[in-house]
Structure 1
Amino acid sequence: MDSNLIPLHYALDTFYLLVCGALVMWMAAGFAMLESGLVRAKNTAEILTKNVVLYGVACVMYLLIGYHIMYSSPEGGFLPSLGFLIGDEHAVDVVAAGGEGAPAFSKRADFFFQVVFVATSMSIVSGAVAERMKLWSFLAFAVVMTGFIYPVQGYWKWGSGFLDQAGFHDFAGSGMVHLCGASAALAGVLLLGARRGKYGPDGQVNAIPGANLPLATLGALILWFGWFGFNGGSQLKVSSIEDANAVAAAFLNTNLGAAGGLLAALIAARLLFGKADLTMALNGALAGLVSITAEPVTPTAQVALLIGAVGGVLCVGGVLLLDKLKIDDPVGAIAVHGLGGLWGLLAVPLTNDAASFGAQLLGIACIFAWVFSASLVVWGVLKVVMGLRVDAEDEYAGVDIVECGMEAYPEFTRKS
């Protein structure tokens, strides 16, 4: 490459990464709107508080320790090294000099792009434990999750750890972000228990409708929009013809994965329930997005549509299965991100010849085993030290008043 062009490529790729990072940050609003729309009115302010604060926690903890764990630990290793902050950056001087090994983009841009992924993974946990968890117990878990649990498994693949050396493929995070978040959520939900009144005798499942489906729909569409930065940005560069074409494929396939998931979930719900279930359709779109995230570049458009469709059907089945097992997830996060992530990782070898089912299964097993077991320990300690769940009276009144001292809809809230 002409050394005179290096600064231009550096600037373009840095700017592209920052814009995509901003798109992914906007997904925080999507999660907040989706989750607050799918819970009861009396719990809305608390779930909004969780979504806003967890983003701040993720930024701080990833800066202090998480980024170092993911990207400064030994290549091919299993155990990470510990360190603080992102360090000084002299990349511009190296690029301007045209030196060999010059980075493609600013390290600070990379940090920003990576930290919004951390917050996304933690947002998955928020919805699954909604309506009955203590706010400060959740935030205490967020500190450990974003500072240590997430970065360790992120290092194994994206930081050139042992999973990367083993040939595990995860382009944008079906496993590293979504399966990770779902595994942490599952551990928390198992210790937390179901919402009171959710399950009756003889396997009865009592529906607990969300308070604001227009808000939930807006949240899902915001997530769909932000996902273009999630998957397209994971190419990391756009300044060459090859990279630009890969980004275009990622955008196209991301959109089709969501469309396939939405339509398949809607049809599945119609066949099962006899109705067009909006919440299943929304979660189906998200499951399709999760499914295509592991490899959005190599599939054809038609295959991307099918990958998303399978994710949507799995999501519907997963929601029903969890209810049958009396595992209460108010927003369907575990089914969307857990099963969608699992399927997405297994679908990679179908279109990417460099991937193998053996390596993908190894990655799935390691991510789930680490995140679930570590989270179970942390949730368990918090249960002993702080308690996880509000008491029955406070749950009936709503966690908004108990935890936040305010209500999102003070004139319309009904106790239920």
Structure 2
Amino acid sequence: MTGALVIGARTLESVTLDLDALWIVVAAVLVMFMQAGFACLEIGFSRGKNVGSVVAKVLLNFSVVSLVWWACGFALAFGGGAWLAGDSGFFLHVGQTLSPGSPIAGPVTPADSGFVLFQMVFCAVSLAIVWGTTLERIRFIAYPIYAVVFAAVIYPLVAHWIFGGGLLGQIGSGMQDFAGSTVVHLTGATGGLAALLLLGPRRGKYGPDGEPRAIPGHSMPMFGLGVLILWLGWFGFNAGSTLTTTGARFAEVALATNIAAAAGVVGAAITVTLLTRRLDVGMVGNGAIGALVAITAPCGFVELWAAPLIGLVAGVLVVVSVLAIDRVLDDPVGALSAHGVAGIWGTLSCGIFAAPRLADAPGAPGQAGLIYNGSFEQLGVQALGVVLAFTLVFTISYVTFAAIKAIFGLRVTEAEEEEGLDLVEHGMYGYPEQFIVGGEAGVEPVADEPAVR
């Protein structure tokens, strides 16, 4: 028998392409569902008077990203192989031809829409990370303005430099970031840092002596649900980044992801207990998130034995960095630690643990890590990538938030912050029974709550 294997009236190649397209769309849906995880996590860490604003923010940001990514974000990220940005694929449509160097070779096909969707939800996740640092005091107008800049410029440039064959893919043998410890997570955390520096802490966060005060979130069960949803979505995030079902490589990536996350929980639990004599629920949850962030870059380049080590270190780092950062910056959900510090560790870990079997495969960026070849070259490329990505994102983000602050105002007033964003920004309460006498519509709200509870 000669020629391609025929299944019914179709070739094996066409069936494989359809399976790959199906897997990418399923993975994209899992990543999209992470928006629900971020919503639950942020609602859990917020006080009851601010929970509704999180819902509005998540829905609007995801929608803005979706439209801007289709219009220009994808084109700048993947529409060609120049060092700075792509130059084709604006308002993407089937049949449109992209410039040389694009991951989509030749004209865009219906199956390529799955790749576009997959990268779109990555951008949306990265943007969602930004806002964890800003809970309970930022004006709503900042969300859509920054979302446009983020989806049109900031994220596409970083994605192009690392995922799309741009600058950091051309330095040395190329930067390794399989699913986005830097592209997605460090980018989001860096944007959050820029916003936080201009926004300042919540009222009552720091006492007259400068010591931080706890401002507990209203629902740890909601936070825990958010962590579990994010954990689930990460299987689409990391395993989906294989972009194919061929060779079942995605299964190995999924297993490495889960092992790392589990080790992160254990590492965070042990560390926070030793440091505070309490098994803090938020720290344990962030241990899982930090480990998932850390394994995101190396999951496609390391052997399984390295995954729990990477996750364990991330869990420890998250606890230590949350406690340290809290003394100077008010980051309500620990995003700077779980996505920033852990994202840096995960990116650098590629330069240490990347295995020859995976790093030296045809088409794979970079080379094996330090423990295999004794060379610091890949670790140096990873470090350079972190520095360049951070500098780009922080600069554009800081300028954008500074402009918003100057033109519209970035932060609500003290009285508005006291009253709560739900009522001030949206005219309703997320939990009306807590704030309306008798839980009946049309009656006056109860007296203002204290700033710190």
Given the alignment, which residue of 228, 233, 236 partners 1:229? 236
For 1:11-26, list aligned pairs within 5 A. Answer: 11-26=18-33
The match for 1:31 is 38
SS in 1 for 2:90: coil
Matched-pair contact (CA < 8 Å) for 2:94–2:109: no
CA–CA separation in structure 2 for the residues paired with 1:2 and 1:69: 37
Answering whether residue 185 of structure 2 is matched by residue 178 of structure 1, we say yes
Structure having the higher helix fraction is 1
Match of 2:64, as an amino acid?
A: V
Matched-pair contact (CA < 8 Å) for 1:137–1:388: yes
Give how far 1:142 is off.
Answer: 1.1
The match for 2:324 is 321
Give how far 1:39 is off.
Answer: 0.7
**Per-residue CA shift, 1:202-243, capped at 9, x if unaligned?**
3311000001111110000000000000000000001x22xx
Answering whether residue 348 of structure 2 is matched by residue 341 of structure 1, we say no
Given the alignment, which residue of 276, 297, 301 partners 2:300? 297
Give how far 1:319 is off.
Answer: 0.9
The match for 2:206 is 199
CA–CA separation in structure 2 for the residues paired with 1:105 and 1:162: 29
Answering whether residue 286 of structure 2 is matched by residue 287 of structure 1, we say no
SS in 2 for 1:131: coil
SS in 2 for 1:203: coil
Matched-pair contact (CA < 8 Å) for 2:264–2:313: yes
CA–CA separation in structure 1 for the residues paired with 2:187 and 2:218: 28
Matched-pair contact (CA < 8 Å) for 1:46–1:403: yes
Matched-pair contact (CA < 8 Å) for 1:129–1:188: yes
Answering whether residue 192 of structure 2 is matched by residue 209 of structure 1, we say no
Match of 1:234, as an amino acid?
A: S
CA–CA separation in structure 2 for the residues paired with 1:283 and 1:140: 28
Given the alignment, which residue of 405, 412, 416 partners 2:427? 405
CA–CA separation in structure 2 for the residues paired with 1:6 and 1:172: 26
Answering whether residue 70 of structure 2 is matched by residue 43 of structure 1, we say no
The match for 1:138 is 143
CA–CA separation in structure 1 for the residues paired with 2:86 and 2:94: 21
Given the alignment, which residue of 390, 400, 417 partners 1:368? 390
The match for 2:129 is 124
CA–CA separation in structure 2 for the residues paired with 1:89 and 1:341: 37
The match for 1:111 is 116
Matched-pair contact (CA < 8 Å) for 1:54–1:119: yes
Give how far 1:90 is off.
Answer: 7.9
The match for 1:392 is 414
Answering whether residue 172 of structure 2 is matched by residue 150 of structure 1, we say no
Give how far 1:136 is off.
Answer: 1.2
Match of 1:162, as an amino acid?
A: L
CA–CA separation in structure 2 for the residues paired with 1:343 and 1:291: 6
- Residues 9 and 177 of structure 1: is their aligned pair in 2 closer, same or farther, counting only changes over 3 Å? same
Unaligned runs of 5+ in 2: 6-10, 98-104, 357-366, 369-377, 436-447
% identical equivalent positions: 41
CA–CA separation in structure 2 for the residues paired with 1:378 and 1:103: 33
| TM-score normalised per structure 1 | 0.93
CA–CA separation in structure 2 for the residues paired with 1:104 and 1:295: 30
Unaligned runs of 5+ in 1: 92-99
Matched-pair contact (CA < 8 Å) for 2:137–2:412: yes
**Per-residue CA shift, 1:373-407, capped at 9, x if unaligned?**
10000001000011100000000010110111111
Matched-pair contact (CA < 8 Å) for 2:96–2:108: no
Match of 1:87, as an amino acid?
A: H
CA–CA separation in structure 2 for the residues paired with 1:87 and 1:103: 7
Give how far 1:83 is off.
Answer: 5.7
Matched-pair contact (CA < 8 Å) for 1:257–1:288: yes
**Per-residue CA shift, 1:160-184, capped at 9, x if unaligned?**
1011112111000000000000000
CA–CA separation in structure 2 for the residues paired with 1:294 and 1:104: 28
**Per-residue CA shift, 1:316-348, capped at 9, x if unaligned?**
111112112x21111111110001100000001
CA–CA separation in structure 1 for the residues paired with 2:339 and 2:236: 18
Give how far 1:125 is off.
Answer: 1.1
Give how far 1:415 is off.
Answer: 2.0
Match of 1:339, as an amino acid?
A: V
Give how far 1:299 is off.
Answer: 2.7
Give how far 1:124 is off.
Answer: 0.4
The match for 2:4 is 2
Given the alignment, which residue of 151, 160, 164 partners 1:159? 164
Give how far 1:14 is off.
Answer: 0.3
Match of 2:273, as an amino acid?
A: R
Aligned-pair Cα RMSD in Å: 1.9
Given the alignment, which residue of 84, 107, 116 partners 2:90? 84
Bigger Cα Rg: 2
Give how far 1:351 is off.
Answer: 2.3
CA–CA separation in structure 2 for the residues paired with 1:14 and 1:260: 32
CA–CA separation in structure 1 for the residues paired with 2:127 and 2:379: 27
CA–CA separation in structure 2 for the residues paired with 1:104 and 1:335: 40
Give how far 1:106 is off.
Answer: 1.5
CA–CA separation in structure 2 for the residues paired with 1:336 and 1:393: 31
The match for 1:351 is 353
CA–CA separation in structure 1 for the residues paired with 2:329 and 2:47: 18
Aligned length: 402
CA–CA separation in structure 2 for the residues paired with 1:384 and 1:103: 42
| TM-score normalised per structure 2 | 0.85
CA–CA separation in structure 1 for the residues paired with 2:148 and 2:20: 31
Matched-pair contact (CA < 8 Å) for 1:398–1:415: no
The match for 2:438 is none
